[in-house]
A and B are shown apart, each in its own frame.
Chain A
Amino acid sequence: MERIKYTKDNSEIIIKKALNVLKNGGIFVFPTETCYGLGVDATNQMAIDKLYSYKTRREGKPLSIAVCDLAMASKYVEINETAKNLYKNYLPGPITVVSKGLGKVAKGVESEYGTLGVRIPNYGLVLDIIRAFGKPFTATSANVSYVPKPYSVEALLKDTPRKNQELIDLIIDAGELVHHETSTVADTTMNNLNIMRPGQIDLSERLSGQKSIMSARTDSAEQTVNFGGMNMLKYIDEPLDKPLVFFLSGELGTGKTQFTKGLAKKLNIEEIIKSPTFTILNEYKYQLGRRQGQFIHIDTWRLDSLKDLETVGFDRYLSANNIIAIEWADKFFNDLKEKIEAAGGKIINVVFEYLDENTRSIKTYE
């Protein structure tokens, strides 16, 4: 193991030494704007295996990689709108941007879900090494598992067993680093719905053959609740030998949950209807005269595919007398429609559009 002091005017020598280690599949320790990091060539399988044996047991986070800019990042991960926004506005900086990986790194670097965390460290020397190397290296903290993050080389060596130390080829010592917390993880793999832009074009096309049976311009949350109630009233007396499903489509904050409150109110449900974003699915019992069933409130916002919806037990709710309201139904519109129609269910499409701060246009299609 070689230890070299970074003095601001010896960066050329350091870069050369670091490149040498990286190219030979070795491990080096480098300073960042958070703690000391551990670098190996992220595309070299033997180097990654070596890193895993250094770390012994893996704690909390998966590995991440360090790149020098958006162009390099885009060779290894899919860059979507959110990722682009983060790179453009907030990097370099202490943020690990998680994107869908392209499978271009060694095995064990991407998570088992195929995602990969990317950092652009705000540390000139490190960026210079990446640029010179032309490829990403790992950006995990330099400590072995279950010991504190190292902010000085002394602390690192004190906490690292000799056997593990022997795996390190080079340490770039920049003295005691400022004790910033480790980087914040920003996962960008949430579906790419255009929530800030008019996103209804697609849906309007799909619904073009259908007739709009009700519509309203609402000026307050209360009016949206009432409009939900009016929608429920229309179907309340129909026989429900098959499930009745409301597809609620519209961007964040356009009143989907408020509308659902209105549906529930007309079903005499007294519990507070809260957003199901976190639990995915909330179930309520309703009773109207002699008819009783379940009212199911679903939010697909955090879900990836129809399969996720199936795994939360969606199919078991597709039965007679049940009334289901699905927020963000447009995410899996066709598959969901097919599934519900196969179960004989009736679908009511409700489309929410944002007009201005308080005004919404809500249209119901049968």
Chain B
Amino acid sequence: MNKQEPLILAIDTSCDDTSAAVLRGRCILSSVISSQVELHKKWGGVVPDIARRAHKENIGKVYQEALKRARVKEEELEFIAVTYGPGLAIALEIGIDFAKNLAYTQKKKLVPINHMEGHMLASFILNQKAQGPIGQNEEKDVFPALALLMSGNHTEIIYAEGLNKYEIIGETLDDAAGEAFDKVARMMDIGYPGGPILTLLADKASDQWSDALLGFNERNDKKPLSEIAGRFGLPIPMMRSGDLNFSFSGLKTACLYKIKDLRARYAKDTDWSYDFSREFINAVSKSLSFKLNKAMKLHPKIKSVIIGGGVSNNKYIVREIGALVRKQAKKYFIPAARFRSDNAGMIGIAAYYNIKNKKYWIEGEEILKLDRKPMLKL
């Protein structure tokens, strides 16, 4: 680890969790999320921890824990990085107020960061041995790149010509991919969050789950085979939209209809739910890879594809996208598991590149003017 590199504290409170991380340059020294410092842990959490109270109570504890695990003292910190959008206004304010106060009173430099830039750059994080998905000397192999960011709140394709040169070329028009998982799981009455449990059920799918061609299909022959995901005829969203946008609300509605129908026809849920889960994941996955493929054709000169966001924890989706990218002989980067969902480490790495390349930060009285931007875009 190079002691010449800046020492950065990063904070993210954009939605459900409060998190803090310490980085020395690209190396992560600690990364703490609020649920790790609570006395009695909470389960997954349906009701989000957005309450102002919860964040306010937590942020000091999370900050202290991040310093402690990094073995760093407050006075050593040089930069404070904080998410200023997008996210829930009141949640963002808590992180921003804390960061502003710390930076202003302790005379540190403040780096406001876009949460989505964090997700995009999470693959650049190195561990304490300076290893990571994008190695120490591999930065030059990344850009220009396409980034596919998918979470409970976002589904976006970004063309990144270089660091700080981003353009959203495709995005969801309604529900995000992760949200579709939660809502379909709710329709199936299998609990929350939807991703892991649907995947668990999908693992038990029969060999026929996609066998629409062998007469084992239950679809209504409304769509060409290339636009359906398997035996239940779930539509693969936005195949004919012509653009790079996503929409998962139509798939959600199709699932609602299908589940009602299946429950009426079968004695027990397990008669259909394993195959159905697999087909649903496939519909989401195919939609993501179809648009990514289209984007790759439009930007043939890219060197790599970066993925990020909580949905990149889904093994079926990652497998499909990974195969697509490798087939096109492009490099493919995915963050370490703990940096896929919301975390402050990714805010720290984004700050690192803002500091290094753009010399971007604010100081002194300027700090007090920073305001949250709940609908911020890249």
Contacts and interface: CB of A to CB of B under 8 A. Distances in A.
Interface of A: 58-62, 81-83, 85-86, 88-90, 94-95, 97-98, 108, 110-113, 115, 117, 184-190, 195-196, 221, 251-253, 257-258, 261, 271-275, 277-284, 302-304, 308, 311-313, 354, 356-357
B43 A280 contact: no
B190 A186 contact: yes
A231 B28 CA distance: 52
Interface of B: 15, 35-36, 38-48, 50-53, 86-91, 151-153, 171-176, 178-179, 182-183, 186-187, 189-193, 196-197, 199-201, 249-250, 252-257, 259-260, 263, 268-270, 273, 374-375
Contacts of B252: 252-253
B43 A357 contact: no
Given A257-B249, A275-B175, A278-B15, 12 more contacts: A86-B191, A95-B200, A184-B200, A185-B44, A185-B196, A187-B46, A189-B46, A190-B191, A196-B263, A277-B183, A312-B91, A356-B257
Most chain A C-beta atoms within 10 Å of own C-beta, residue among B15, B45, B179, B189? B189
A85 B186 CA distance: 11
Contacts of A113: 42-43, 45, 47
Given A82-B191, A85-B269, A190-B192, A98 B36 contact: no
Contact of B273 (A89, A251, A282, A356): A89
B275 to A, nearest CB: 14
B88 A275 contact: no
Contact of B44 (A187, A271, A277): A187
Contacts of B263: 196
Contacts of A186: 190-192, 197
Contacts of A257: 174-175, 249
A253 B256 contact: yes
B252 to A, nearest CB: 5
A112 B58 CA distance: 14
Contacts of A62: 40-43
B174 to A, nearest CB: 6
B165 to A, nearest CB: 22
Q: Which 8 A-B pairs have the closest CB atoms?
A: A186-B191, A62-B41, A112-B40, A278-B153, A253-B253, A85-B189, A311-B51, A253-B256
A117 B43 contact: yes
Contacts of B45: 113, 187
Given A187-B193, A272-B171, A354-B256, A111 B42 contact: yes
B375 A195 contact: no
A275 B254 CA distance: 17
A280 B48 contact: yes
Nearest to A107: B40
Most chain B C-beta atoms within 10 Å of own C-beta, residue among A185, A188, A274? A274
Given A252-B256, A280-B48, A313 B375 contact: no
A341 B187 CA distance: 33
A94 B199 CA distance: 12
Nearest to B93: A313
A283 B192 contact: no
Nearest to A356: B257
A362 B16 CA distance: 33
Given A190-B192, A278-B179, A313 B41 contact: no
A81 B252 CA distance: 21
28 contacts: A62-B40, A86-B191, A89-B268, A95-B197, A112-B39, A113-B42, A113-B43, A115-B42, A184-B196, A185-B196, A187-B43, A187-B192, A195-B187, A253-B183, A253-B252, A253-B253, A253-B255, A257-B249, A258-B249, A274-B176, A277-B182, A277-B183, A279-B87, A280-B48, A281-B88, A311-B51, A312-B91, A357-B253
A98 B270 contact: no
A195 B186 contact: yes
Contact of B40 (A90, A108, A185, A273): A108
A331 B361 CA distance: 44
